[in-house]
Amino acid sequence: MKTMKTYAMIFILTLSTILVQGQSHKETHSKKTYPTSYNTVKVDGLDIFYREAGPKNAPTLVLLHGYPTSSHMFRNLMKDLSSEYHLIAPDYPGYGRSSQPAMKDFDYTFENMSIIIEKFLGKLKVDTYSLYLMDYGAPIGYRIFERHPERVEAFIVQNGNAYKEGLTEFWNPLRTYWNDYTIANGKALEGFHSLEGLKWQYTHGVQDISKVSPDNWHIDLQHLSRPENNEIQLAMFYDYRTNVSSYPKWQKLFRKHQPPTLIVWGKNDIIFPAEGAYPYKRDLKNVEFHLLDTGHFALEEKGDEIANYISKFLRKNLK
């Protein structure tokens, strides 16, 4: 009789577990997902292309891409987070599907990029937001933060630098260019936006190259191959020196305003190595810190993990 009772108890417990798991599975899949829309808005006469997903009454996350890519780098992350957040990912002028004004008509600097993106957010009537800052997105986003710190609710920093410790020997050819602005020194940097240079940026430091779509570097190359785009990239390389001189100012703003910050950093990145991730802890009190076993474009291999970190972090820190 005891044996029968024991079996009955086991059966009931097992059935209860199955029902609970089933309900949990149902809840997970009952979340409403939002398709990404592809849009263009005029800013100072330029067509600024952007991707948008999620409910507009949800907290907004502005996704700022790096070199040499575009909002395309956020295509999967936007799907993963669209049930909880309003996501906006613009292309900068000269990148992706945004206008590429001639260099004689537009000054390709990080300051100008930040002004265009700030005006872009104004056009969309986005007043408060969190910033996802990757590579070039960091100095563009920090300039926006510098002008309007009250608008920024949180930072998500993914291989985006704000400290000299993060500029290791990889940057020596760029330092040479900054110190001696010649055609020859610029020519030495053009390999970064060749096909092989693009592929290297996506695949170096990853654990499984088969997880990184070749579409990435071929799509980037299409945009980078436009007439005069090579010169645009060299102009941005040269202007990067202005970011380095701004680091102390931005660090002071971090200490003053203390935005909640999530670090999700590909630790095998040579361009922006982990040495640039640790110093954020010096200036920011509310930091969640994750080094991921991947390279520069961490979303390609660790996108699910990063999405999970972002979801939990924003839920915890946005009131």
**225 residue type, one letter:** S
DSSP codes of every residue in 45-109: TEEEEEEEES-TTSPEEEEE--TT--GGGGHHHHHHHTTT-EEEEEPPTTSTTS----TTTS---
By CB atoms closer than 10 A (0-12, 13-18, 19+), residue 74 is buried
d(CA 66, CA 70): 7
Known catalytic membership, residue 296:
yes
228 contacts 103 by C-beta, under 8 angstroms: yes
Bridge partner residues of 263 (DSSP):
157, 289
The token duo for 71 is 């909002």
Q: Which of 72, 86, 223, 296 is catalytic?
A: 296
The residues annotated as belonging to the active site are 296
